């Protein structure tokens, strides 16, 4: 079961995973002198402002992804990057600490996925480019066809080839179907569950995102080029992040209680109040949503002539979902074009790339569990802050805990590397010393 000259590939979903897959397939096809027809089905107008144009995300592009994109000749335009983040500030109930980029060249980019927050359409032309539209256009420039339709049904024809049905748009048959519907459209996931390859969607958790308008000056003055992370004892909160983006600040909340109510409570905390402009109020109708975030791999994400990429297959835990989409898209394109499109081809050549990420996610689950348990213990947080503060006076190469925290929130490294930094003898030794220091009455620093 192989792709040949004239083969047709359907990609269901034109988010990052779908567009990356199209780009990689068409690029490889050209190098193999293979004529391939690639159709991307994507009904969303990514150039539109507000939820209609947006694939609901914090919009952080890790530096590893910026580099990977550049290697593929995909350079983010200056209009797209609204902020270059070079510092994290960690806010806890016991104090705050700044974590500078662990290497001078490390920076992360903050972007909008769609046209921008609701209400931004009043600014014409829009002063920024959205990431998903940029990527979809790149795929079209490479030769993909963008069909602005929602796929309503999937069947197989007599030869076992996927047949896609669109409302009022007829039926098309393909040699390969790449599923990239993300995890925020249950009906689309059901299309694949109802097929014959035993697919079960990934595990997911509720999240909350809001775009708060503050004005560019206030954002620069109050937030700077800094991403603010909140590890606070608020019921239902795992962690929250406030990222500057032009005239907006993007608030992302993870945790089982992630909703508007929790955002309001977070907004009233002294840590958040210290950052917001005086008398600033949450806008009456902010652009906000409650998307799902990936927390565990899909079961059987491939079969004969069908393969799932991006969030709908395997992604990374709590971070760098776009980077994970890049990786699965690459592995999928390489497998389909150089090995074949049967289930056993994907099992042998695509699945290992997914498994590597999923194994690393297991470590991530462990790390977050430990933090969830110990984070309520004041001594633990005090000692953590103490180590990070101490590290800021040392060379980059010796800032193991700072690097671990930076990589946890940016998604720039695997959880395995993060664990190695956490377990580094210097980190552990200093941590124990901070615990002892904090435990001695009268010696606790604020
Ligand atoms: C709160 C939150 C914050 C996040 N922050 C970040 C971050 O800062 N950085 C990061 O890298 N990742 C982040 N992520 C993860 C990131 O959003 C996802 O990993 C990424 O969007 C996955 O890309 P995808 O292409 O698989 O799916 P999606 O981006 O969801 O795209 C799926 C596409 O498929 C289309 N589609 C669905 N059904 C159909 C159909 N039937 N027919 C045709 N088209 C269809 C949809 O319209 C959509 O455009 C975050 C996620 C959440 C929830």
Separation of CA 329 and ligand 1 centre (Å): 13
Q: What does the angle CA 109 – CA 114 – CA 119 come to, to the nearest 5 degrees? A: 110
Q: How far is CA 131 from CA 73, 220, 315, 340, in A?
A: 15, 22, 19, 31
Asked if 14 and 148 touch (Cβ cutoff 8 Å), the reply is: no
DSSP 200: B
Separation of CA 311 and ligand 1 centre (Å): 7
Pick the CATH number of 204-292 from 3.30.1360, 1.25.10, 1.10.15, 3.30.70: 3.30.70
**How do residues 169-217 score in pLDDT, each as one tens digit?**
789 999 999 999 999 999 999 999 999 999 999 999 999 999 999 999 9
* Closest protein CA for atom 53 of ligand 1: 293
Higher pLDDT, 18 or 68: 18
Residues 244-263 have a mean pLDDT of 93
Higher pLDDT, 440 or 266: 266
Per-residue model confidence (pLDDT) at position 256: 86
* Per-domain boundaries in the chain: 7-60+130-200+297-363, 204-292, 373-439
**SS3 sequence of 93-113:** CCEEEEEECCCCCCCEEECCC
Asked if 50 and 287 touch (Cβ cutoff 8 Å), the reply is: yes
**How do residues 314-352 score in pLDDT, each as one tens digit?**
999 988 999 999 999 999 999 999 999 999 999 999 999
DSSP 349: I
Q: Residue 379 and residue 387: Cα distance in Å, rounded? A: 12
DSSP 165: E
Q: Residue 130 and residue 126: Cα distance in Å, rounded? A: 10
In testing the pocket of ligand 1, which one of 69, 83, 177, 182 has its CB within 8 Å of the most ligand atoms? 182
Q: Which range in 93-107, 108-122, 240-254 is most confidently predicted, on average pLDDT?
A: 240-254
Q: Residue 229 and residue 148: Cα distance in Å, rounded? A: 37
* Closest protein CA for atom 2 of ligand 1: 57
Per-residue model confidence (pLDDT) at position 441: 65
Higher pLDDT, 437 or 277: 277
* Closest protein CA for atom 45 of ligand 1: 13
Q: Residue 375 and residue 358: Cα distance in Å, rounded? A: 25
Query: Of ligand 1's atoms, which has the minimum distance to the CA of residue 18?
Result: 25
Per-residue model confidence (pLDDT) at position 403: 86
Per-residue model confidence (pLDDT) at position 9: 98
Separation of CA 132 and ligand 1 centre (Å): 9
Percentage of the residues of the chain whose pLDDT score is greater than 70: 98
Per-residue model confidence (pLDDT) at position 408: 83
Is 66 a residue whose pLDDT tops 90? Answer: no
Would you call 330 exposed, middle or buried from its count of C-beta atoms within 10 A (0-12, 13-18, 19+)? buried
In testing the pocket of ligand 1, which one of 10, 12, 15 has its CB within 8 Å of the most ligand atoms? 15
Is 443 a residue whose pLDDT tops 60? Answer: no
Sequence-ordered list of residues with C-beta below 8 angstroms from that of 53, at least 6 positions apart, any chain:
44, 45, 46, 47, 114, 115, 130, 133
State pTM to two decimals.
0.93
Ligand 1 first shell, C-beta below 6 A: 12-18, 41-44, 55-60, 150-151, 180-182, 184-185, 188, 207, 209, 252, 291, 293, 310-312, 315, 320-323, 325
Per-residue model confidence (pLDDT) at position 398: 84
- pLDDT, mean over the chain: 91
Would you call 120 exposed, middle or buried from its count of C-beta atoms within 10 A (0-12, 13-18, 19+)? buried
Is 399 a residue whose pLDDT tops 50? Answer: yes
Q: Residue 271 and residue 324: Cα distance in Å, rounded? A: 32
Q: Residue 286 and residue 213: Cα distance in Å, rounded? A: 8
Beta strands in 13-78 (DSSP E): 36-41, 60-61
User: Phi and psi for 7 in degrees, rounded to 5?
Assistant: -65, 150
List the structure tokens of 115: 């046209």
Asked if 152 and 158 touch (Cβ cutoff 8 Å), the reply is: no
**How do residues 8-62 score in pLDDT, each as one tens digit?**
999 999 999 999 999 999 999 999 999 999 999 999 999 999 989 999 999 999 8
Q: What does the angle CA 89 – CA 95 – CA 100 come to, to the nearest 5 degrees? A: 25
Per-residue model confidence (pLDDT) at position 84: 84
pLDDT tier at 396, thresholds 50, 70, 90: confident
CATH architecture assignment, domain 7-60+130-200+297-363: 3-Layer(bba) Sandwich (3.50)
Separation of CA 44 and ligand 1 centre (Å): 12
Taking residue 42's Cβ as centre, other Cβ atoms within 10 Å add up to 24
Q: Is the peptide bond before 14 cis (omega within 30 degrees of 0)?
A: no
Asked if 231 and 239 touch (Cβ cutoff 8 Å), the reply is: yes
Nearest to residue 60, comparing CAs of 209, 196, 205?
209
Asked if 84 and 16 touch (Cβ cutoff 8 Å), the reply is: no
Would you call 66 exposed, middle or buried from its count of C-beta atoms within 10 A (0-12, 13-18, 19+)? buried
DSSP 128: S
* Closest protein CA for atom 27 of ligand 1: 182
Q: Residue 8 and residue 38: Cα distance in Å, rounded? A: 6
**How do residues 84-114 score in pLDDT, each as one tens digit?**
888 889 998 888 988 877 665 567 889 999 9
pLDDT tier at 446, thresholds 50, 70, 90: very low
| Order of strands, sheet of 151-156, starting from the edge strand that comes earlier in the sequence | 151-156, 162-166, 170-173
Per-residue model confidence (pLDDT) at position 406: 83
């Amino acid at each position: 079961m192989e792709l040949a000259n004239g083969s047709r590939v359907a990609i269901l979903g034109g988010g990052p995973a779908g567009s990356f897959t199209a780009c990689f397939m068409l690029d490889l096809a050209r190098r193999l002198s293979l004529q391939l027809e690639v159709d991307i089905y994507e009904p969303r107008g990514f150039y539109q402002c507000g939820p209609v144009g947006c694939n609901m995300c914090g919009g952080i592009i890790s530096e590893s992804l910026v580099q990977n994109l550049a290697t593929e000749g995909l350079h983010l335009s200056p209009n797209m990057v609204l902020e270059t983040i070079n510092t994290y500030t960690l806010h806890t109930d016991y104090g705050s600490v700044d974590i500078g980029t662990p290497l001078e060249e490390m920076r992360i980019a903050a972007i909008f996925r769609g046209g921008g927050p609701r209400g931004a359409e009043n600014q014409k032309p829009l002063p920024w480019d959205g990431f998903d539209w940029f990527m979809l256009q790149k795929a079209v420039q490479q030769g993909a066809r963008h069909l602005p339709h929602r796929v309503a049904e999937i069947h197989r024809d007599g030869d076992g080839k996927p047949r896609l049905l669109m409302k009022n748009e007829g039926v098309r048959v393909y040699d390969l179907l790449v599923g990239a519907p993300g995890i925020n459209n249950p009906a689309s996931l059901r299309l694949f569950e109802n097929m014959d390859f035993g697919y079960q969607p990934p595990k997911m958790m509720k999240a909350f995102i809001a775009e708060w308008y503050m004005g560019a000056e206030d954002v620069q003055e109050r937030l700077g080029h800094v991403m603010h992370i909140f590890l606070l004892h608020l019921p239902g909160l795992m962690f929250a992040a406030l990222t500057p983006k032009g005239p907006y600040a993007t608030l992302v909340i993870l945790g089982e209680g992630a909703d508007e109510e929790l955002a309001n409570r977070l907004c009233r905390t002294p840590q958040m109040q210290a950052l917001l402009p005086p008398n600033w109020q949450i806008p009456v109708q902010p652009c906000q949503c409650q998307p799902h975030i990936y927390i565990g791999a899909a079961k059987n994400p491939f079969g004969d002539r069908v393969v799932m990429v991006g969030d709908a297959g395997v992604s990374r835990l709590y971070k760098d979902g776009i980077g994970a989409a890049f990786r699965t898209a690459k592995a999928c394109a390489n497998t389909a074009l150089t090995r074949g499109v049967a289930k056993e081809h994907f099992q042998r050549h695509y699945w290992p790339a997914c498994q590597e990420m999923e194994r690393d996610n297991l470590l991530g689950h462990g790390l977050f569990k430990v933090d969830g348990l110990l984070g309520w213990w004041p001594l633990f947080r005090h000692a953590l802050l103490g180590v990070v503060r101490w590290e800021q006076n040392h060379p980059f190469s010796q800032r193991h805990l700072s690097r671990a925290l930076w990589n946890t929130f940016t998604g720039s490294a695997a959880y395995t590397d993060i664990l190695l930094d956490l377990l580094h003898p210097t980190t552990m030794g200093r941590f124990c010393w901070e615990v002892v220091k904090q435990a001695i009455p009268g010696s606790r620093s604020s």
